[in-house]
């Protein structure tokens, strides 16, 4: 097993000064929160499901330790360099300096929270954790504004000389291994304030707190050498991480799609959100992402959800990355006098889990818009060609605990449910005369196994794939899912295979349409 990295947790926005004291009362800034409800679906009834919280699960599933000892910072300082366990969890308690309840025990005087100052202190804290554990890098796990704090560290602080010494700091890529964000407004937050929303915003953010999520303010704390008040140049996009600062492929963004569970603010942000962060603003460009039908926080929130945790665990500790792209897409010509809008729904599930890992559905306002994707990607054959459908990170089956008794866990299995349907527009309005609600034009499930066949001397990974409509009997009893593995083609360090789309969908997606599965080692 590869060397582990310590995990540093970053909480989200605590609210106006009046709320900071309450938030700092939590020893773990919310990472310890669990849940006892799980959603069946957008309109489903919640049922009992006990999720003990990501902190306890990281300890029980991955053997991590929580080393507080009364004061985690003082504890670290008291230890010899390299003596602290790498498999450890830490909380950057950046709000403590803004609390009024600690007196002089934490800070000489109460401060007003400042994101850049918090990022400066995060740099020092990460350096301390690295020194005491001997780990080259840390993982950063962040909720909401915490993801912007992490990006401020990576994109600005690490690329700015230390004002205390004048010495350059270490680049973010040398400090941070992976960044995982839950519901972070990478593209900012925009409100259409009116009525009771004004009162809610003032209570939640304070008189100027929401400015943290305004593009101009984000430009200042995400860009080296820029001060508050400077306007972002035309074309600057807040949800991009410069390649020279950090590799976006080392970033994973969980995107919430359930606005209804977040209350009044949903009316300000709109239904295409987690209740606070718009879907289109919740991820970094070129980063991995998962769409989860959860709200920004609260009882049905992203952080205290099984879905969020399983994506976190697999991204941090997975051995394989499997990416699915739709190639050769060629949609039918538009009939005369009408416009057809083609959409696809995707749902990703992994064997052994009680929840769906990723789902883009029309009911959640986030289907894949095939017309737009076709225009953007076409049928390109290059590495960037094809319509991206989903990315899964898979644990080594031997490492994964919870497999079925009596079966050697040689393979990881995931399924990709695909549904294709269309809407008709006439004279700028949807035309329902020929419409069958919730009935797709085509639907099937691709089942993929990744791992070893089972021969003891066999090395390396293989993949087996089959459409569910072609598998006789129970899929649970067919393992691997196909008699022969896929023909894998080497592409640098990656392996890929192409699976033709079933004949029944080719009149819609094109005669050359196929799914490309790319399997990569990931660490």
- Domains defined along the chain, listed by start: 7-317 (3.40.50.1820), 323-521 (no CATH)
d(CA 124, CA 199): 37
- Quote the pLDDT of residue 405: 38
Segment 493-521, tens digit of pLDDT: 888 899 999 999 999 999 999 999 998 88
The lowest-confidence range among 180-194, 214-228, 249-263, 438-452 is 180-194
Instruction: Please state the rounded mean pLDDT for residues 44-61.
Output: 86
- State how far the alpha carbon of 228 is from the alpha carbons of 218, 220, 222, 236, 487, in Å: 9, 5, 11, 16, 55
- Quote the pLDDT of residue 40: 53
Residue 64 or 452, more confident: 64
Q: Flag whether pLDDT at 102 surpasses 80.
A: no
Strand 65-66 versus strand 88-91 pairing type: parallel
- Give the model's confidence band at 214: pLDDT under 50 very low, under 70 low, under 90 confident, else very high: confident
Nearest to 400 by CA among 409, 408, 392, 391: 409
Helix (H, G, I), strand (E, B) or coil at 307: helix
- Quote the pLDDT of residue 5: 97
Query: Please, are residues 467 and 435 in contact by the beta-carbon 8 Å criterion?
Result: no
Strand 251-256 versus strand 288-292 pairing type: parallel
Q: Which residue, chain included where needed, has tokens 């050697």? A: 408
Instruction: Please state the rounded mean pLDDT for residues 88-109.
Output: 77
- Quote the pLDDT of residue 195: 47
d(CA 243, CA 93): 29
Q: Flag whether pLDDT at 302 surpasses 70.
A: yes
pLDDT > 90: percent of the chain: 54
- Give the model's confidence band at 381: pLDDT under 50 very low, under 70 low, under 90 confident, else very high: very low
Contacts 24+ apart (CB under 8 A), 332-336: 332/507, 332/508
Q: Flag whether pLDDT at 281 surpasses 60.
A: yes
pTM: 0.91
pLDDT > 70: percent of the chain: 86
Instruction: Please state the rounded mean pLDDT for residues 399-406.
Output: 47
| HEC letters along 174-213 | HCEEEEEEECCCCCCCCCCCCCHHHHHHHHHHCCCHHHHH
Segment 124-175, tens digit of pLDDT: 999 999 999 999 999 999 999 999 999 999 999 999 999 999 999 999 999 9
Burial (CB count within 10 angstroms: exposed 0-12, middle 13-18, buried 19+), residue 305: buried
- Quote the pLDDT of residue 197: 45
Angle at the Cα of 273 from the Cα atoms of 271 and 274, rounded to 5 degrees: 115
Tokens of 401: 């605990």
197-206, 371-380, 482-491, range with greatest mean pLDDT: 482-491
Give me the chain's average pLDDT, please. 85
Instruction: Please state the rounded mean pLDDT for residues 252-260.
Output: 93
Q: Flag whether pLDDT at 232 surpasses 70.
A: yes
Instruction: Please state the rounded mean pLDDT for residues 179-203.
Output: 70
- Quote the pLDDT of residue 44: 62
- Give the model's confidence band at 2: pLDDT under 50 very low, under 70 low, under 90 confident, else very high: low
Evaluated on CA atoms 216, 220, 221, 224, the torsion sign reads positive
Q: Which residue, chain included where needed, has tokens 């929840």? A: 355
């Amino acid at each position: 097993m590869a060397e582990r990295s310590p995990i540093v947790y970053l909480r989200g926005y605590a609210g106006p000064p009046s709320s900071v004291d309450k938030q700092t009362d939590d020893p773990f800034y919310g990472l310890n929160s669990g849940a006892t409800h799980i959603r069946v679906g957008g309109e489903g009834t919640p049922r009992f499901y006990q999720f003990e919280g990501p902190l306890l699960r990281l300890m029980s599933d991955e053997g991590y330790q929580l080393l507080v000892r009364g004061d985690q910072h003082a504890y670290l300082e008291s230890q010899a360099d390299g003596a602290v366990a790498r498999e450890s969890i830490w909380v950057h308690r950046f709000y403590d300096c803004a609390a009024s309840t600690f007196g002089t025990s934490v800070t000489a005087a109460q401060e007003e929270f400042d994101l850049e100052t918090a990022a400066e202190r995060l740099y020092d804290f990460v350096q301390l954790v690295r020194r005491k554990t001997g780990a080259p890098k840390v993982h950063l796990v962040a909720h909401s504004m915490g993801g912007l704090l992490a990006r401020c560290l990576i994109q600005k602080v690490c690329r700015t000389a230390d004002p205390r010494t004048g010495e350059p700091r270490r680049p973010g890529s040398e400090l941070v291994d992976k960044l995982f964000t839950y519901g972070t407004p990478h593209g900012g937050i925009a409100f259409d304030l009116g009525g009771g929303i004004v009162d809610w915003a003032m209570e939640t953010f304070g008189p100027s707190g929401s400015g943290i999520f305004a593009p101009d303010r984000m430009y200042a704390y995400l860009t080296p050498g820029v001060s508050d008040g400077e306007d972002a140049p035309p074309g600057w996009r807040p949800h991009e991480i410069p390649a020279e600062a950090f590799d976006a492929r080392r970033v994973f963004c969980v995107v919430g799609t359930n606005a209804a569970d977040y209350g009044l603010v949903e009316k300000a942000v709109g239904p295409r959100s987690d209740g606070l962060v718009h879907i289109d603003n919740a991820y970094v460009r070129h980063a991995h992402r998962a769409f989860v039908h959860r709200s920004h926080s609260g009882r049905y929130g992203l952080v205290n959800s099984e879905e969020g945790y399983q994506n976190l665990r697999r991204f941090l500790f997975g051995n394989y990355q499997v990416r699915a792209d739709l190639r050769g897409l060629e949609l039918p010509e538009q009939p005369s006098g009408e416009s057809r809008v083609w959409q696809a729904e995707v749902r990703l599930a992994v064997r052994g889990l009680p929840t769906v890992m990723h789902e883009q559905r029309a009911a959640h306002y986030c289907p894949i818009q095939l017309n737009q994707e076709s225009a953007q990607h076409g049928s390109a054959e290059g590495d960037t060609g094809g319509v991206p459908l989903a990315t899964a990170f898979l644990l080594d089956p031997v490492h994964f605990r919870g497999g079925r008794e009596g079966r050697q866990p040689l393979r990881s299995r995931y399924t990709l449910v695909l549904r294709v349907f269309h809407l008709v527009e006439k004279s700028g309005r949807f035309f329902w005369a020929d419409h069958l609600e919730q009935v797709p034009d085509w639907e099937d499930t691709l089942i993929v196994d990744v791992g070893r066949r089972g021969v003891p001397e066999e090395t390396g990974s293989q993949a087996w794939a089959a459409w569910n409509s072609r598998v006789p009997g129970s899929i649970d009893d067919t393992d691997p899912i196909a008699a022969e593995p896929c023909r894998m083609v080497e592409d640098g360090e990656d392996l890929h295979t192409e699976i033709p789309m079933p004949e029944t969908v080719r009149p819609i997606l094109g005669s050359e349409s196929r799914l490309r599965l790319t399997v990569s080692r990931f660490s």
